[in-house]
Amino acid sequence: MRMESTHAKAPSGTKQAKKAVNVSLPIALIKAARSQGINFSSALEDALREKVRTGRNNRWSKDNAKAIAAYNRDVEEHGTFGDRLRQF
């Protein structure tokens, strides 16, 4: 199925460059989406943004796992800076 390119404005009001792509989807899914008036380009863009965000977050967590573990061990052993100043 060929997806039409819509040159929607970015949240900041500036146009984003877009490129038409070909996507293959199950026919039943296409029919169900069309019957609900779902904009394919918008739905795919939203889903891809979420996948990219999740992938970026997972990668950051993996890349920083050792530092996070070391920090957590330090907090367990010594507490946080604010613990000594807290009056409650």
pLDDT tens digits for range 4-49:
444 444 555 667 899 999 999 999 999 999 999 999 999 999 999 9
What's the Rg (C-alpha) of the chain? 23
The per-residue pLDDT for 11 is 59
CB 20 within 8 Å of CB 3? yes
Exposure pattern of 51-73 as b/e (b: 16+ CB <10 Å)? eeeeeeeeeeeeeeeeeeeeeee
Q: What is the mean pLDDT of residues 61-67?
A: 97
The per-residue pLDDT for 14 is 67
The per-residue pLDDT for 4 is 43
The per-residue pLDDT for 60 is 98
Top-confidence residue, 14 or 64: 64
The per-residue pLDDT for 82 is 82
